[in-house]
Every structure is written in C-alpha cells, then in structure tokens.
Amino acid sequence: MSNYIKQAGRYWRTLKHLQAGQILNRLSRRFVPAKSPLATIPLVSQFKPNINWPAKKESILAHSRFLFLNEEKKLNFPDDWENKNIPLLWVYNLHYHDGLLSMDTEGDLKKSHIKKWIAGNLSMSGVGWAPYPTSLRVVNWIKWSWISKEHIESFDRSLAVQISHLYHSLEYHLMGNHLLENAKALIFGGCYFEGGEATRWLNKGLTILDKQLREQILDDGGHFELSPMYHSIMLELVLDLLALSKQIDCPRSLRSRSSMLFSVAQKMNTWLAIMVHPDNEISFFNDASTGIALPPTTLKAYLNTLEVKEIDPDTFGVKYLSTSGYIRMENKVGVLFADVAEIGASYLAGHGHADALSIEFSLFGHRLFVNLGTSEYGQGARRDFERSTAAHSTLELNGENSSEIWSGFRVGRRARVSNVDIKSDEGQYELVAQHNGYRYLSGRPVHLRRILFSEGGLEIMDEINKQSHLGCVRFHIHPRIRLLIAECGSRGFLMFPDGSEVVWEADADLVFEEDNEYAWEFGKKIPTKTLVLQQNKSNRSTFKVKWICH
C-alpha cells in the first residue's frame, strides 16, 4: 500500500503543474478519431524565396546507410521506418530529413530518400506521422524544394497531406518548442502552397507563433525551457521565419511580423552570447549537448546574412539573466556560469535536470568544471543519471535528487532557489544563493552555496543548515583536464592540456575521486573524473582552486 501512496503522490506532484488545455488535448488525442486526408491538393505557390539556409550535417549515406546521434546503421526499407529494435530518438531523426540540407550529400541520394519515405509511409500512423517529426520534415522538404528546384512525382500531394494531418494534430498536450515547430511548419506550408487551405494553415501558424513567442521567450531573451540547446534550436526557428518575412513577395501576413521577429532574434542572440563558453559552444544546463542545435558561431553568421544588428554583450563582469535564472561571471582569466533557475517552465519541465545551484567553469579558455551533459533520451538508467543531481557540479544530499525527476521527461517536486545575492568589485565576485529541494527530508534542510571568484582563485562553500544528512559535493572535471590528488587527499593539482597546472584544496570529511562519463554529444560519452567532497559529520565543505594570473 505504501508504494501505491508514494506513486500517487509523485503523479500528483507532476500533474498539478500542467495546464487544463494540455490534459484535455491529451484525452482528445486518445479518443477522438484523426481527420481524413485532403480531398483536393492546393496549388503550389509561385513564391520562390532566395535564402541561404544554414547547412545541416551529413546523415543520408549511400547504400541505405544513415548516421544519426553518432551511430551509423544500414537499414532495410520499408520495414525499418518503424523498427522497434532501434532507439526511438534515432528513428525520429530518420524521419526528420535534416540530411536534405547537407552540402555533402548528392542530389540523387536526397531524391531517393524522399521517394522511399513517400512509398513506405502511406498509413498516416507511426513515428513518421507524429506531429514533431512531421513538422521538421515538412520544413526540410520545402527548403529542399526551393533550393534544388527539383520535381518528384507525388511530392506535392504527400507534402500537402502531411501538413493537413499536422494541422489537425497540433501538440497542445506538450506545448513548448514542439508547438512552435508545428507553427513553423504550417507557416512554411502556407507559403509553399496557395489557396484557401494554404491560407488556413498560414493563419493558424501565425496565430500560434504570436502567442507562443510571447509565452516562451522570456524578458531577458531566454527560451522558457531553460536549455541552451533548445534555446539555440528556437533561435534558428525565429531566424528561418525572419528570413521568409524579409522576402518581398512573401505573404503579407508574414511580412507584417518581420519587425517582431527581428526584435525577438536580437534578444535571443544576446542571451545565447552570455551562455556560451570561451570555446564558442553552449554551457550544459538541463538537456544540453553539442551537435544537435546549430553551433553559436553558425547562428551568428546566419544573423549576419539577415542583416540583424548584433548586440553581443560585453560579457566581462557579471551578467544576471534574472528571468531565466542564470548568472555569468567573467574576469581576465575565467568564466563561471551558475544555475539559480527554476527547473523549467512550470507546465513543461521535461527537459529539466535536478541541477539547482550547479556551476560550469572555464579557466584560461579551457572548460574545467562541467555538468555531464545529455547523451540520450527515453527511459533508462543513463537517462535518469544524466538528469540527476549527481551528474551536476553541485551538492547531492542523502543520495537524493534536488528535484524529483522520473520517467525520462517527468518532474514532480521542484527545487526553488531563493535569496540570490551578487556582489562585484573590480574583477572579484561573490554569489550567495540557496534552494529548498531537500525540504522533504527530516528537518527540511536547505542547501546554501557561496562562490567567491577572483583573478587569483575560486572558492566554493556548500552548507546544509541541518546535520544528520550525508552530503556529496561533486565537481565534474572536463576530460581534457587531468585530476591529481595528493597523498593527504585534501589537496592536489588540475593539469591543463598545455602542461600548466593549478592547485586545489578541499575542506571536507572525506575527499575522493569517481569515474564518470562526459556526454559532449548525443550517443557519445567520454571517460572523465569527478572530485567528490563528502560531508559525513559536519554540514559544510569548502573547495578552493588557486592560480597565478600573469
């Protein structure tokens, strides 16, 4: 009985954050029959935009081979469009058709892939017809058609049926980035075709776009799912629509939104610039890795082609993205990112991690302390671990998570960060904050973190206001940095690729190292080391890194 009560509580703590519309839409998707396909296919518009869409990675290979998520597979069609033995995310990528925008793939191979999809996906069911892959595929097909000016028999009919199917299956049960991708596909479809049906698609997409950009793009420019990776994906979405809106002969209803899209793009670009490490790649908070979204440098180049005035901030000093909940502190030698954010949008926290008060830190241009990133989706031990507190550079208490993550994309109880205080004085910074994510444990303990960062060192103090709890503060070391622990166990060195080193020391009941894996990209894990400060008897630990600033 106690297990049932515990499970019921977890469901309640998760479901209470959902919007009524999400729940109703989920029920209607289950019990209301899908709409029939189009009876009449709309005419193709004469609108032919001249846009240099950013290229995507090569993924469609010769001889029915495909490369997604760093894993290559040879497929047998039509059976493998729905192969249950292949990880679902890999199959989703197969149906996206991003490879149509690769510069390294021959035109005949792209056309063959489209033809195989049309022939092998006639049932209007399964992964290929799910709204999200349909949305991405619709946009990629239309971009490919505009670029290549190729014609494939039944292409227009299949494309129109896909858009119509999407129109009747919008992801109001999920919302967030999925719904914006739905809207983008409808807008692209409304530009590609003409006539009454196409106008309905366009107007529906624009209505969703107007509302969801106001909802999802926060005042400081961040995307409300609080993942730098998804922020980058959404910035590409905005830039694609801005590129369309700047075309003279695009539909007037889209062109009228050009200035709004321009403003949103500038805000989002500023946010992204703040959240990027000196290596020009994103920081890893919530679901994040490289290789999925366009890199920041590519997005910046795309902005330039659209003549969007760059407002890249002077990132030196302290930048507090107060609406998003991220802090960047930068001086002459290093950059520190601190997470004082919510786990994500209240009704859409599926890409959130239990990472309250975690940090990432680059020193001398190299990533030093990191969160372990994201290598896979779905349900399983690795997914659970990568979302856990233990996978982040912060404090774990009693082996529990600071937020109640479960079932791949679910979140029940959420940590709340409070009392954020930042002080800055000529390159020396102090940050103090606390969170209540462990309030369900005895004594309702609170985790307080104090960070002192100067041009000569970094000091991090973690404290629990109640004793009788086992605390483990982890500092995950980037794989390129070598961790050395002296015989005494409480001090050592961190060695950089160029042979230089910095000194660290720890004040804790027990100091030791763990073996871990760093997920730089999906499907790719790199062995790395983690320094652990364990609090057994005391309720406080301190970690210091010192260097000489030349």
pLDDT digits (tens, 9 = 90+) for 55-65: 999 999 999 99
Residue with the two structure tokens 């830039």 = 239
pLDDT digits (tens, 9 = 90+) for 388-428: 999 999 999 999 999 999 888 889 899 999 999 999 988 79
Q: pTM here? A: 0.95
How would residue 310 be classed by pLDDT, with cut points 50, 70 and 90? low
The reported pLDDT for the residue numbered 17 is 77
**CA neighbor of 189 nearest in space, from 321, 42, 312:** 42
Span 279-307, average pLDDT? 95
The reported pLDDT for the residue numbered 311 is 64
pLDDT greater than 90 at residue 196: yes
Residue type at position 392: H
The rounded distance, in Å, linking the Cα atoms of 457 and 503 is: 9
List the structure tokens of 323. 């609406």
Q: Which fold is adopted by the domain 317-546?
A: Beta-galactosidase; Chain A, domain 5 (2.70.98)
Q: Which residues contact 424 (CB under 8 A, 6 or more apart)?
A: 317, 318, 329, 430
Structure letter (DSSP) for residue 380: S
The residues spanned by each domain of the chain are 1-30, 218-309, 317-546
The rounded distance, in Å, linking the Cα atoms of 485 and 59 is: 43
Residue type at position 305: T
pLDDT greater than 70 at residue 299: yes
pLDDT digits (tens, 9 = 90+) for 119-143: 999 988 899 999 999 999 999 999 9
Query: What DSSP string describes 28-49?
Result: HHHHSPPPPPPSSPPEEPS---
pLDDT greater than 90 at residue 230: yes
Per-chain mean pLDDT for the chain = 92
Rg of the Cα atoms in the chain: 25
